[in-house]
Each structure stands twice: as structure tokens, then as C-alpha cells.
């Protein structure tokens, strides 16, 4: 059959017009017939050929030859598309190999693919595809990145066990409707495009006797569109299956025996293939006639997706149902996926972020699951979290109710099987090898760069030597010529020119040849060989928030949830139950609670602490003011002296009162006796005498003798009581006058001390130092009031900003540890995991905790600064040593002062490790310096108040800025003198505190006083970790 003439249509594509071609041929023949005959006759026509055939124009020569007759046995079953070899959005007709696709709910963005069940190993065969319908789904929502083109058709061949999405791997090759040959993401332009209303044929030539063996050709409506294209080496020697990949269209695939559009040469179709030339793949259900639907039940970060990849590699007929699969599918469909947010994404729920509503909101996954529930294929329903929760397992199982499914829960917990462990170790070794190869190439490039630099250096030196040689030869030649000229001028014969000696020319240095080195082969360490699972990559299996909400409810599946079989693949059921309970208990310690909310109990104690801290700070600033300090000390001293005098006075008064009581008793007895005597005497008196006495006292004189006597006795008693009360009133008034006089004199003396404030002498400073040392000997836990240790000064009078920072840190950690236990509501959570301490600190106190600000590297080192309050106990949780129901917060001041004294002792003894090395003022110091501001109060700051009253920084009076500083410097000098005296008698051993008269025996941070032990909730479990 002669080739048909091609014309260009309106769209520029080649079209065939048989009528035009025939008219042109007839016109050309008629023209030749009308030409006048000249002397050049036409050559004779071949026998059996007409003039029209002789003068028909020649077309392009077809490189392929007609197929020869083949008597070998042919396949009997017609080729078809089987469900396991199609994507989930493809439905295959029962008759005719018609491929239809789902295109709603975001599926219109995904490619559909189908692969035939007959693969070609040798020979030359073809198949055809025709577009039946173009689908144009309505775009809904705001599409940010709609993939183009909208309609795509790729027709070609792929290997078995590969996903029927062609072009982006080495397992397939295809012709694209956009006019290119597509292989492994590389496009080769082909001058042919095709669309609807045309028949596309692809010819695969694997006939080794053909001159065009291992080639693939494209035909459109029977016309060749390109020369035979060679197959890549990756596909040679493999069985290649007819495959189509398309989008937004419905297709019909023709495998024979008749061709829809005959080719320029005879070529057999796939249905006419010899059995020896093909490989037929058939999928059969399992022995029970059902298809497996597997629900993997794995713990997060314990081989979940590694097991899935290993299982799918060994069982390629299973299809994965997961969001990970949808993302891979979308990317292979040409949809651009921006970089994901690692904080919100996980392997179980990766961040889609395609900018397409249906893909991003999960509607596409719902439609695919609904479609998969109707298809006959083996599947793996992969959800890490969902397969561990009972309610979600029930919902998932209920979606697959078709009788051809066998629903299997495959439980993988605990130690895996040896086969899977070998797979994991091989993956670890590959990762390690890839890392070693990268390092090897980097080192190789570095060495090459060094060799290049060395060669350049040698070339510079060589050029310099060559220049020196040339200059030397030129100088010698000039000297010889000058000598010859001088000889000629003197009439002498010039010396013969010396024969030039051949010099060994030093060759220009070249770059040394690179030694051929093989990358080192890595081996696994013993520790790596003991690993059960491989560490996940950039994304975890579950995000921290999802894991913290879900893991307490993880359970093992049961038959009551609707499963047909529960397969414990790694460990038996009893061992799995024990392992799961242990895993949950451990994760209750190591998993943080992202939605934890501070309770009212915490807020109440936090506010009380801020109030106490503000009061202590105000008292501290007042005591730093020399004038106020002197007044406070003087008042306290006088109060103390006054109290001693008052005690003496009280003792004297008590003695006087005792004597008075003795005297009164005597008087009472005497009066009683006197009264008795008087009564006896009154009895002896006559009635007229009694009446005279009554008249003298102004009393009534009527009555008998007994009444007269009674009246006289009552009057005498009333008169005695009046005299006694008058004496007591006079006594109280005298006492008040004495108190007023003493108070006024004390105020005058205090004012005089403040006004004069003489410069302290060395003896006075020594006395103050001795008092300070004596005060240091006192146990801080025996002090009742931290605002006054007994001398008028507060316990925290020597605090620096580091001490205030550690004071705040002690309370904050104590309150945080107890609040966490109350707010989490889970008795199995023993405390805060150290790695999560900064997170909870920020959640409760709304500020960051940076250990480096305190001069330490990590959280555990930070807690070491306050180990008298906070310890890390088994099973590695932060725990407070104090009870949660403290009556006051003064114990934290006492602990801080005790730590300060111990630190000072160690520094005085030469232990430099005791020195605090704060990088800067921590947040706690700033809050300690101004607790009201830290609490969010709008009250004026203390610094501003003091400045308004004429005080500078630290509460120092502006008029006397050097007084307190001078005293402190002088005390420091005396302390150093005492140290030198002690060093003369006993050498100082660094790190070991020296014995001193004022040091407590068994005191300090580690020898805990009994008063402090009484405040402990319980001793530290296991000590400090």
C-alpha cells in the first residue's frame, strides 16, 4: 500500500487527504501526456505497471518490514487490564477494555494508570489506544496551583510490579500527548501530538534479527510520527507490558486481533503474540477465595513505615491506602508540593499543602477509600494512630463490608522477627554508607584542590628558576662580548667563544595523577547491630500533640471489633500486652502535655509568692540605705536593751508584787484578825456606843444590836476597797509617764547617731565582722522571722542579684513540680521529664528559661544549683523536696542563705568551682529586682520611688555614695587577713573546705540540719542524678 500524502491542517498538524493526493497524481499524469514529444523518448514501462503508477510521487520509505508468518502457538486468553495493575481511580469495563476514571473531589488532578497483563519479551508487537471522551470537571474553590495541562495521555510500556504511572522512573517509557518521548523524567521532543478522534498505536520491536531491534515507534491514524526510538539500557532484557497513563479522559485499548488504523507494514498485535514471546501475569485470590485487607498495628517510631515498605516490596500486588501514598501519587502526577511545616506534619498525617481544597482537606482520601471498598484487590490500610485506637479501628473495618474481603489485624509490637531486623540493619548500613560516600567525595575534592595549589606553586617556582637562568646566560653573554670588544680594541685576538654546554632542561611540573581510591565500605557497630528499629527521618510518625492526646488510649485489636483474623506477627499476645503497658507507662513520663493549663491553685500561690518577694525586696533596699540601716539597728539595739531593762524592771516589779502580796496576805490576815477582834470588840460595846459610831460615819442608827454591828463592818470593807483602787490608778499613771520619757530619749539618741554617723574604726569593723561570723554560726532554720534575725537586719541582707535569681528559681521549680502533678490529673505521671522542663516553665510562667543565663549548659546542670530544693528522681523526673502545703515561703529564703554561706566558705577556702558564673542577669533576677513589674502590676517601681527621694542605684544615698562601700571593702580586707593567718598553720587544699571555728559540723548543702529535714516532703530518691 503506497504511503498517503500528508498536508498541514489549520492547527499545523499533518493530516491525510486521500482525494487531494489522488487529484494531484491525475493532474501530473495528464500534464506529462500533453507534453510534446521531443527527441528524448520515455524509458519503457516495467511490465504490469500503468503510467499512473509509474508517475506517482515517491513518499518516505518505511523502515519496518512486514511481519513474517509465525506458526508458533499463540496466547489463548485475550489481554486485559486486571484490577491490581490499575490505580485506585480507574474502573475497567467487563468487556472491551474500556478505561474510565473518577474525576470528582480532587481526583481530576491525579493521573490514572493501567497496565495490561501480557508482557512482551521478544518479537515485534503493537497495541492501539483511542480517546473516547474528554472530561471537564468544574473547578471549585480557590485553586492556587492548578496543574497543567488539563488532559494528558501517555502510551507506552512498563515493567511488571511497577506503578502504572509512566515517565518519571527507569521502569517505564512512553510517548506523551504533548509531543515527547518520556523516560526517567527526561523528555525527548517528538514532532507529533495527538488528541481526541484519532487512533494512537505503539510498536515495540524486540526482534533481535530486525535492524531496528530494541526500539519503540509511535503511529497516529496509521501514519508514522517518528523514527524508531531506541530503548534505554535499563529496560533491555525485561518483559515490557502495554501501559497507559492518562488524566481527565476515558479510553479504549485495542490489543487485537484487528487493527483500528492499519499501519504501512504488517505488524501483529499483542493478542496474536506467540506464547514464547510473552509473559502473562494473572492474580488469583487467596486459598479461601478472598482478598486480604491488612490493618498494621504498630507503635509510633517502632518500624511502622519501614515494615510497610518492606512488606510492599515483597508483595507488590498489595496497594497502600494512606495519606503518604496520596502525596506520592500527586507529586508523580505533576503537582508541585511546597516545603512542608515540620512542626505540624508527620508520617501518619503529612501536611498536604498543595493549595487545592479537596486534596488538602482529605476529601480525596475519603473518595479513594470508598472506591477501594468496591474493588477486588489486596490492600494495606495504613494509619498509625487510627489502627491503635479501638473506636477508629471499628469505623475503618465497617467501611469494608464486601464479602470478598478478609479483614486482618497484623500486630507488630516488641522485638521484631530476624528477617525484618536484617532489613532494618541493611537500611541503617545504606544510610551510613551514603553518608560515608559524601564525606569521601568531599575529602577527594579537598585533596584535588590541594594538589592543584601545590602544582601551581611548583609552576611559579619553575618559572622563576627559568627566568633566573635566562638572566644569568644573558649576563654571561654580555660579559663575553664586552671582553671580546676590549681585546679587539687592544689589538689582541679575542678569546674563542666557549662551546655551549648542554644543560638539562627542567621540565615544567605537571599535576600529579590522582590515585584511584574506592569509597570505604562501612560496617555497623555492635551498638547499631542491637537496634530493633531505624530512626525516622525529618518527620516523626506522630506529632507531639497528637501523640500526647492519643497514646494513653492505645489498645490491641480484638475480634469483637469486626476483624476476621488477628495476626501477632512478632510476639505472642501475652508478650504484646505486657510490652504495650510498659510502653504507655514510659511515654507518660517522656511525652509532654501540650494543652496543659495552670490551675487556680497555682495562680493563688504564685500571687502570694510575688507579694512576699516584693516585701522582702523592699526591706532589702531599705537595709541597704545607710541612714535607714543605722536607724533600724539602733532601734533594734535599744529595743533589745530596753527589753533587757524592762525584763529587769519586770523582775523587780514582780519581786515587789510578790512582797506586796506577802504583805497583803499578812495585812489581810491582820485585818481579818483585826476584823475578828473588832467584831469581838463591837460585840462588847453597848447599843448607845454603837449608835454614836454610826452617827460619826454618817450611817443609819436604827435597828437592833446585830444590825448595827453588821452595818459598821460593811462600811469598813467598802472604805478599804476604795483606797486600794485609788492606789492602783496612781500606779498605772506613773508607769505611762515613765514610758513616754524613755521613748523620747531613745528617739533623740537615734537621731543623734544618724546625724553624727562617725567613721567606724578598725576595732568596730572587727567587732562587726565577729558579729557577722557569730551570726553565720547560727542555723538559718532556727530563725523564726526572715525579716529580722534578732539584730534588726533581715536574713537576706547579703543577697546579690545571683542570690535573688536562685531564690526565685527555687520557688518557681518547687511550685511548677507540684502544679504539674495536680494539673495533669494522671497518677501514673510521676513528674516532669527534664527535657520538657523549659516547655512547662514557659507555659506556666509565660517567660523563657535559658540555662546559659545561669552559667550552665543544660537543665540538669541548672537544677544542680538548687539541689537543696529540686532533685531528679527515678524514673528521671523532676521532683521537689518540699511539701506542697507550706505555711509560708520563708523556707526558700533560708535555703538560699544557707547555700550562699556554703558557697562563701568554699570560696574563702580556695575552691574556685563554687563561683557562680552567670552570663547575664537572668530573667529571675529581673523579676526579683522588681516583682510588681513581673506580676504585671502598674504600680510605680521601687527604683523610681527611691530615685525620687534622692537615692541612686541599689538604694544608695546620692549624698553618701561611698560609706557602705568603704565598710564592705574594709571587712573584706580583715577577712583576707584572717585567711592568711589560717593558711600559715594549715595548707589550703583546693576543693576541700577548711575547718573553722564558725563552720557548722555536718552543715552546708549536703549535711542537712534537722530543722531543714523537717520541712522535706521526703528524702531524694536515688540522690542527685
pLDDT tens track for 183-234? 998 999 988 788 788 899 999 999 998 999 999 999 999 999 989 999 999 9
pLDDT class for 502, splitting at 50, 70, 90? low
**pLDDT above 80 for 721:** no
Distance of CA 390 to the CA centre of its chain: 28
Q: State how far the Cα of 129 lies from the Cα of 98, in Å rounded to an integer.
A: 10
What pLDDT does 232 receive? 93
List the helix and strand counts (H, then E) for the chain.
Answer: 25, 26
pLDDT tens track for 536-584? 777 888 888 888 888 889 999 998 999 999 999 999 999 999 999 999 9
Q: State how far the Cα of 219 lies from the Cα of 213, in Å rounded to an integer.
A: 17
Cis preceding linkage at 488, omega within 30: no
What pLDDT does 997 receive? 33
**pLDDT above 90 for 764:** no
Residues facing 241 on adjacent strands: 158
For all residues of the chain together, what is the average pLDDT?
Answer: 77
pLDDT tens track for 745-757? 555 554 544 445 5
**pLDDT above 70 for 307:** yes
pLDDT class for 20, splitting at 50, 70, 90? very low
pLDDT class for 322, splitting at 50, 70, 90? very high
pLDDT class for 251, splitting at 50, 70, 90? very high
**Lowest mean pLDDT across 148-152, 498-502, 798-802:** 498-502
What pLDDT does 517 receive? 78
Positive or negative, the Cα torsion across 182, 183, 188, 191? negative
Q: State how far the Cα of 334 lies from the Cα of 246, in Å rounded to an integer.
A: 12
pTM reported for the whole predicted model:
0.66
Three cell numbers written together for 248: 481527565
What pLDDT does 627 receive? 74
Q: Which of 806, 964, 974 is nearest to 897 (CA)?
A: 806
What pLDDT does 183 receive? 94
Long-range contacts of 744-748 (CB under 8 A, 24+ apart): 746/635, 746/638, 746/642
Q: What percent of the chain has pLDDT over 70?
A: 70
Q: Specify whether the CB–CB gap between 682 and 706 falls below 8 A.
A: no
When mean pLDDT is compared over 185-199, 226-240, 522-536, 817-831, the highest value belongs to: 226-240
Half-sphere exposure at residue 92, Cβ-oriented, CA atoms within 13 angstroms: 22
pLDDT tens track for 878-898? 999 999 888 889 899 999 999
Q: How many CB atoms lie within 10 A of CB 627?
A: 16
Mean pLDDT along residues 6-26: 42
Residue 527 to residues 422, 432, 523, Cα–Cα distance (Å): 15, 14, 12
What pLDDT does 57 receive? 45
**pLDDT above 70 for 533:** yes
Reduced to 3 states (helix: H, G, I; strand: E, B; else coil), residue 652 is helix
- The H or E element spanning position 368 is helix 363-372
**pLDDT above 80 for 937:** no
pLDDT tens track for 646-656? 566 666 666 77
What pLDDT does 999 receive? 34
What pLDDT does 695 receive? 72
**pLDDT above 70 for 966:** no
Q: What percent of the chain has pLDDT over 90?
A: 32
Three cell numbers written together for 623: 537595709
Q: What are the helix (H) ranges across 186-299?
A: none
Q: State how far the Cα of 776 lies from the Cα of 770, in Å rounded to an integer.
A: 10
Q: State how far the Cα of 830 lies from the Cα of 873, in Å rounded to an integer.
A: 9
Q: Exposed, middle or buried: residue 977 (CB in 10 Å: 0-12, 13-18, 19+)?
A: exposed
**Lowest mean pLDDT across 84-93, 421-430, 792-801:** 792-801
Q: What are the helix (H) ranges across 778-825?
A: 801-824
Reduced to 3 states (helix: H, G, I; strand: E, B; else coil), residue 1005 is coil
List CB contacts of 83: < 8 A, sequence separation 6 or more: 92, 283, 375, 376, 377
pLDDT tens track for 976-1002? 565 555 555 444 444 434 433 333 333
Half-sphere exposure at residue 315, Cβ-oriented, CA atoms within 13 angstroms: 15
Amino acid at each position: 500500500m503506497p504511503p498517503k500524502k500528508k498536508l498541514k491542517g489549520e492547527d499545523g498538524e499533518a493530516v491525510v487527504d486521500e482525494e487531494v493526493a489522488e487529484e494531484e497524481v491525475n493532474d501530473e499524469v495528464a500534464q506529462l501526456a500533453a507534453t510534446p514529444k521531443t527527441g528524448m523518448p520515455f524509458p519503457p514501462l516495467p511490465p504490469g505497471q500503468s503510467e499512473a503508477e509509474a508517475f506517482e510521487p515517491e513518499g518516505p520509505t518505511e523502515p519496518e518490514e512486514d511481519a513474517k508468518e509465525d506458526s508458533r502457538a499463540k496466547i489463548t486468553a485475550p489481554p486485559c487490564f486486571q484490577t491490581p495493575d490499575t490505580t485506585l481511580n480507574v474502573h475497567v469495563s467487563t468487556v472491551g477494555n474500556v478505561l474510565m476514571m473518577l474525576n470528582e473531589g480532587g481526583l481530576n488532578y491525579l493521573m490514572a494508570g493501567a497496565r495490561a497483563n501480557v508482557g512482551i519479551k521478544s518479537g515485534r508487537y503493537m497495541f492501539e489506544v483511542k480517546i473516547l471522551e474528554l472530561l471537564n470537571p468544574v473547578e471549585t474553590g480557590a485553586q492556587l496551583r492548578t496543574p497543567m495541562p488539563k488532559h494528558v495521555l501517555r502510551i507506552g510500556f512498563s515493567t511488571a510490579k511497577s506503578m502504572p504511572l509512566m515517565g518519571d522512573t527507569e521502569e517505564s517509557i512512553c510517548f506523551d500527548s504533548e509531543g515527547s518521548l518520556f523516560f526517567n523524567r527526561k523528555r525527548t521532543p517528538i514532532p507529533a501530538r495527538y488528541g481526541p478522534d484519532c487512533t494512537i498505536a505503539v510498536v515495540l520491536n524486540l526482534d533481535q534479527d530486525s535492524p531496528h531491534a530494541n526500539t519503540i515507534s509511535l503511529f497516529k491514524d496509521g501514519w508514522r510520527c517518528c523514527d524508531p526510538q531506541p530503548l534505554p539500557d535499563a529496560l533491555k532484557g525485561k518483559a515490557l507490558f502495554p501501559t497507559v497513563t492518562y488524566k481527565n479522559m476515558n479510553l479504549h485499548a485495542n490489543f487485537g486481533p484487528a487493527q483500528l488504523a492499519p499501519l504501512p507494514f504488517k505488524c501483529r498485535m499483542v493478542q496474536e503474540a506467540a506464547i514464547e514471546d510473552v509473559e502473562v501475569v494473572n492474580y488469583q485470590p487467596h486459598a479461601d477465595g478472598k482478598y486480604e485487607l491488612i490493618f498494621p498495628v504498630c507503635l509510633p517510631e517502632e518500624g511502622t513505615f519501614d515494615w510497610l515498605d518492606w512488606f510492599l516490596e515483597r508483595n507488590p500486588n498489595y496497594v497502600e491506602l494512606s495519606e503518604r501514598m496520596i502525596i506520592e501519587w500527586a507529586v508523580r502526577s505533576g503537582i508541585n508540593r511546597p516545603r512542608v511545616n515540620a512542626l505540624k506534619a508527620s508520617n501518619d498525617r503529612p501536611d498536604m499543602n498543595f493549595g487545592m481544597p479537596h486534596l488538602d482537606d482529605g476529601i480525596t482520601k475519603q473518595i479513594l477509600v470508598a472506591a477501594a471498598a468496591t474493588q477486588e484487590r489486596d490492600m494495606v490500610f495504613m494509619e498509625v494512630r487510627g489502627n491503635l485506637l479501638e473506636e477508629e479501628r471499628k469505623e475503618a473495618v465497617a467501611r469494608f463490608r464486601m464479602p470478598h474481603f478478609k479483614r486482618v489485624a497484623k500486630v507488630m509490637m516488641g522485638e521484631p522477627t530476624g528477617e525484618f531486623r536484617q532489613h532494618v540493619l541493611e537500611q541503617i548500613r545504606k544510610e551510613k554508607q551514603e553518608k560515608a560516600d559524601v564525606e569521601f567525595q568531599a575529602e577527594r575534592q579537598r585533596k584535588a584542590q590541594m594538589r592543584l595549589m601545590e602544582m601551581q606553586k611548583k609552576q611559579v617556582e619553575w618559572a622563576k628558576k627559568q627566568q633566573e637562568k635566562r638572566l644569568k646566560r644573558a649576563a654571561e653573554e654580555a660579559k663575553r662580548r664586552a671582553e671580546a670588544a676590549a681585546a679587539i680594541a687592544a689589538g689582541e685576538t679575542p678569546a674563542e667563544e666557549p662551546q655551549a654546554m648542554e644543560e638539562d632542561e627542567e621540565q615544567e611540573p605537571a599535576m600529579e595523577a590522582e590515585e584511584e581510591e574506592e569509597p570505604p565500605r562501612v560496617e555497623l557497630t555492635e551498638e547499631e547491630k542491637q537496634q530493633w528499629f531505624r530512626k525516622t527521618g525529618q518527620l516523626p510518625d506522630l506529632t507531639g500533640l497528637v501523640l500526647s492526646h492519643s497514646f494513653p488510649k492505645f489498645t490491641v485489636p480484638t475480634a469483637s471489633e469486626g476483624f476476621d483474623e488477628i495476626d501477632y506477627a512478632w510476639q505472642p499476645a501475652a508478650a504484646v500486652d505486657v510490652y504495650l503497658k510498659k510502653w504507655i507507662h514510659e511515654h507518660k513520663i517522656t511525652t509532654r502535655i501540650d494543652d496543659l493549663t495552670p490551675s487556680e491553685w497555682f495562680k493563688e500561690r504564685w500571687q502570694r509568692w510575688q507579694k512576699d518577694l516584693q516585701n522582702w525586696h523592699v526591706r532589702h533596699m531599705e537595709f541597704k540605705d545607710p541612714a535607714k540601716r543605722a536607724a533600724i539597728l539602733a532601734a533594734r539595739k535599744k529595743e533589745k536593751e530596753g527589753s533587757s531593762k524592762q525584763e529587769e524592771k519586770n523582775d523587780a516589779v514582780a519581786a515587789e508584787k510578790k512582797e506586796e502580796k506577802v504583805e497583803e496576805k499578812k495585812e489581810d490576815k491582820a485585818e481579818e484578825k483585826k476584823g475578828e477582834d473588832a467584831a469581838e470588840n463591837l460585840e462588847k460595846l453597848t447599843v448607845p456606843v454603837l449608835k454614836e459610831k454610826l452617827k460619826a460615819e454618817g450611817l443609819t442608827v436604827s435597828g437592833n444590836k446585830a444590825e448595827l454591828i453588821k452595818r459598821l463592818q460593811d462600811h469598813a470593807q467598802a472604805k478599804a476597797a476604795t483606797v486600794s483602787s485609788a492606789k492602783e490608778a496612781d500606779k498605772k499613771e506613773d508607769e505611762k509617764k515613765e514610758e513616754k520619757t524613755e521613748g523620747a530619749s531613745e528617739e533623740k539618741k537615734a537621731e543623734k547617731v544618724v546625724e553624727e554617723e562617725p567613721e567606724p574604726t578598725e576595732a568596730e569593723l572587727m567587732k562587726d565582722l565577729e558579729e557577722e561570723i557569730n551570726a553565720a554560726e547560727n542555723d538559718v532554720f532556727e530563725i523564726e522571722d526572715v525579716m529580722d534575725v534578732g539584730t534588726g537586719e533581715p536574713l537576706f541582707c547579703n543577697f546579690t542579684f545571683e542570690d535573688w535569681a536562685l531564690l526565685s528559681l527555687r520557688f518557681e521549680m518547687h511550685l511548677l513540680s507540684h502544679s504539674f502533678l495536680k494539673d495533669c490529673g494522671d497518677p501514673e505521671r510521676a513528674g516532669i521529664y527534664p527535657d520538657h522542663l523549659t516547655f512547662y516553665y514557659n507555659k506556666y510562667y509565660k517567660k523563657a528559661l535559658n540555662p546559659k543565663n545561669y552559667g550552665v549548659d543544660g537543665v540538669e546542670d541548672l537544677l544542680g544549683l538548687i539541689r537543696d530544693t529540686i532533685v531528679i528522681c527515678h524514673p528521671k523526673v523532676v521532683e521537689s523536696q518540699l511539701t506542697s502545703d507550706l505555711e509560708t515561703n520563708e523556707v526558700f529564703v533560708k535555703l538560699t542563705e544557707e547555700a550562699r554561706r556554703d558557697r562563701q566558705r568554699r570560696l574563702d577556702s580556695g575552691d574556685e568551682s563554687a563561683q557562680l558564673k552567670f552570663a547575664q542577669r537572668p530573667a529571675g533576677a529581673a523579676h526579683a529586682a522588681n516583682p510588681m513589674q513581673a506580676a504585671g502590676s502598674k504600680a510605680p517601681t521601687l527604683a523610681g520611688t527611691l530615685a525620687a527621694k534622692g537615692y541612686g542605684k541599689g538604694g544608695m544615698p546620692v549624698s553618701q555614695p561611698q560609706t557602705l562601700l568603704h565598710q564592705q571593702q574594709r571587712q573584706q580586707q580583715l577577712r583576707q587577713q584572717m585567711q592568711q593567718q589560717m593558711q600559715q598553720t594549715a595548707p589550703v587544699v583546693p576543693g576541700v573546705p577548711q575547718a573553722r571555728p564558725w563552720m557548722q559540723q555536718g552543715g552546708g548543702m549536703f549535711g542537712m540540719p534537722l530543722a531543714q529535714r523537717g520541712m522535706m516532703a521526703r528524702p531524694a530518691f536515688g540522690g542527685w542524678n
